[in-house]
Amino acid sequence: MKIDLTDTTASKINKALVQGRRDIGTPAVGMVLTLVIVTDEENAYDALKAANDASHEHPSRTLVVIKRVSRSARDRTTSRLDAEVRVGADAGTGETVVLRLYGEVVGHAQSVVLPLLLPDAPVVVWWPVDAPLDAAHDPLGALAQRRVTDTYAAEQPVRELGARADTYAPGDTDLSWTRITPWRSMLAAALDQVTCEVKAVEVEGEEFNPSCELLAMWLADRLGVPVKRSLSSGPGLTAVRMDTTCGPIVLDRADGSLATLSIEGQPDRAVALKRRETAELIAEELRRLDPDDTYASALRFGVERLNAAPTSAVRGAEAAVAKAEQAVALAGAAVAKAEESPDGDPSPAEEGSPAKGEAVRTPVESAAKAPAKEAAAQAPVKKAAAK
């Protein structure tokens, strides 16, 4: 059942929803959440279809917010709200309201959406395209417990990941992260079957695919080993190779549907890793509404740190540099003290310090010249013994 409302208000939309439920004989409300979809006219159909399919698992009230662009200055100063109310078979297992905003009301979408939210139910906001860089501080994102974006739809996906890391807030998530859930599960299960140490990892996939970058960052963050990002013709993520002390572990998916898991000493196994539709991804995200700490940790690892040295090596290098700086500082202090002391015999505390004008020797140089000094000191003793 569809009800079209032109130049309407939120109050009239609520009345139309109640009237629609009564007309189809289901006055009771059995929905568990409110899903707000912020999109444009071009992508509204696909997003709404995915939400309707996901509603079979999560009955919800779906609010589709479409911000229409006004062509003239006069239209931009005229506010108007059109709505299309769908209940029954036309709305999956919940209710759907398509909101089209014109004029000045485009900048106040939260005021239109707020009266239409289900009472005492969680709110999820999804941006299929053109998501704000700071979703948590967006007027619509501030209403939600969960904010879903899709970096894959961005013009520069890899750069978008860096921006998401800078503005991350608990409750943010990305469909590019959801796409690699089967890969993460399979790789974790493969490592559970062996008692080996992972030495290096290689992730292979398309060049501008943020899911490949997120999987590589997750592996580097969890394992603490160098991860190499290599390119392939796709589709999507094609292979992960882990070099371990027991031999290589390879998960290869060349055709985008069926993968092969190879573990040293075990027969190869076929694994179903098909590329999932958007409806399946949204349904997975709606299963949990708490913050995803694993996603946050992987996102903050940073794309620029891929193909770098492992964490242990970096820490060792930093410690060596700190010791070298400390030795240089001590040598500089000794030189300054020698220059400030008066002429004459050095005090007991200053014995062994370099004389004025003498080059300061590093600990390594002193250790190298110590045997020569000892041999020179023993020479007179050896001559006396010979006589």
Q: Are 122 and 134 in contact (CB under 8 A)?
A: no
Whether 364 shows a pLDDT value over 60: the answer reads no
CA–CA distance from 245 to each of 184, 318, 368 (Å)?
21, 27, 39
Higher-scoring residue by pLDDT: 73, 241: 241
Q: What is the pLDDT of residue 322?
A: 64
Phi, psi of 248 (to 5 degrees): -75, 150
Grade residue 347 by pLDDT with cuts at 50, 70 and 90: very low
Domain definitions of the chain by residue range: 2-175, 181-275, 309-337
CA–CA distance from 168 to each of 19, 104, 134, 137 (Å)?
41, 29, 7, 10
Alpha-carbon distance of 241 to 259, in angstroms, equals: 13
Grade residue 31 by pLDDT with cuts at 50, 70 and 90: confident
Q: What residues pair up with 5 in beta bridges, in sequence order?
A: 83
Q: What residues pair up with 20 in beta bridges, in sequence order?
A: none
The torsion of the CA quartet 185, 186, 188, 191, rounded to 10 degrees, works out to 170
Q: Are 201 and 220 in contact (CB under 8 A)?
A: yes
| Two tokens, residue 180 | 């690699």
How many CB atoms are located within 10 Å of the residue 281 CB? 20
Pairing of strands 198-205, 247-252: unpaired
Grade residue 5 by pLDDT with cuts at 50, 70 and 90: very high
Grade residue 30 by pLDDT with cuts at 50, 70 and 90: confident
Whether 47 shows a pLDDT value over 90: the answer reads yes
Mean of all residue pLDDT scores within the chain: 82
Whether 74 shows a pLDDT value over 70: the answer reads no
Comparing CA positions, the residue from 205, 211, 209, 249 lying closest to residue 229 is: 205
Q: What pTM does this model have? A: 0.75
CA–CA distance from 346 to each of 334, 350, 352, 353, 363 (Å)?
13, 6, 9, 9, 21
Comparing CA positions, the residue from 43, 250, 266 lying closest to residue 150 is: 43
Q: What is the pLDDT of residue 312?
A: 44
Whether 317 shows a pLDDT value over 50: the answer reads no
Q: What is the pLDDT of residue 383?
A: 43
Grade residue 315 by pLDDT with cuts at 50, 70 and 90: very low
Q: What is the pLDDT of residues 266-309, one digit of tens each?
A: 999 999 899 999 999 999 999 989 999 999 999 999 888 876 54
